[in-house]
Amino acid sequence: MKIPTPHINAKENAFAKTVLMPGDPMRAKFIAENYLEMPKKVNAVRGMFAYTGTYNGSPVSIMGSGMGCPSMGIYSYELYNFYKVENIIRVGSAGSINMELELGDVVMGVGACTESNYADVFARCPGLFAPTASFELMLQAKAAADVLGIKLHAGNLLTSDVFYNDDSVGLNAWLRMGVLAVEMEAAALYVNAARAGKNALCLCTISDKVFDRNQSMTAAEREKSFTDMISLGLSMI
């Protein structure tokens, strides 16, 4: 496949080596316009905005991933394999499973348990592939969090294919296994990074509590209040 790809209408070298990927393309726009120096829009196909600029003088790109493993799978695959991106840091929202997490807490996904068949269909491994983050990026995130004074929770995430689930009781099993929070993209990102020999990390801000639906952020709050997570991701460049 040549560039532009079917899903990214950007020229060669349009992306920096490191890309921050929120799920929401409007959040990508918000980050670019409020954090980057001289951001330039490099993609708008299907409304999936991508920008490249600098942060404290270092090149960085911001691009939406969309929701779910299929969408993240497409965009991260094309970035890794056709646009020579080396590092993708997902910066998104998650629902807490662990009872001790509070709204606004930042979680680093060391691994991504999943209900999705993405890895099975993609890799056809003769067993269960365990999607994990890149150790190098985890070290960078921990160092940056220490400098910024951000409390960083680290552990397993659950990447789910469903947002609305008829069987919420099933989450108790993940709670018993120490899983911290549930989101929808990390496993596909980690699978693609492993196959491409690249680096990936998922940073999530807790936007709601799955066992207490009265505690949740609004869409506007999710778009504009994830300052700790965004600052942490950008400080890793």
> What residues act catalytically?
208
Give phi and psi for 164, each to the nearest 5. -100, 120
Q: Are strands 87-96 and 37-43 parallel, antiparallel or unpaired?
A: unpaired
**How far is residue 229's CA from residue 126's CA, in Å, rounded to a whole number?**
36
Q: Tokens in use for 196?
A: 């491409």
Residue 200: closest CA among 233, 177, 167, 230: 233
- State the virtual CA torsion across 73, 119, 191, 106 in degrees, nearest 10: 80
Give the number of other Cβ atoms within 10 Å of residue 101's Cβ: 18
Residue 193: closest CA among 109, 106, 115: 109
**How far is residue 200's CA from residue 198's CA, in Å, rounded to a whole number?**
7
The DSSP secondary-structure symbol of 132 reads B
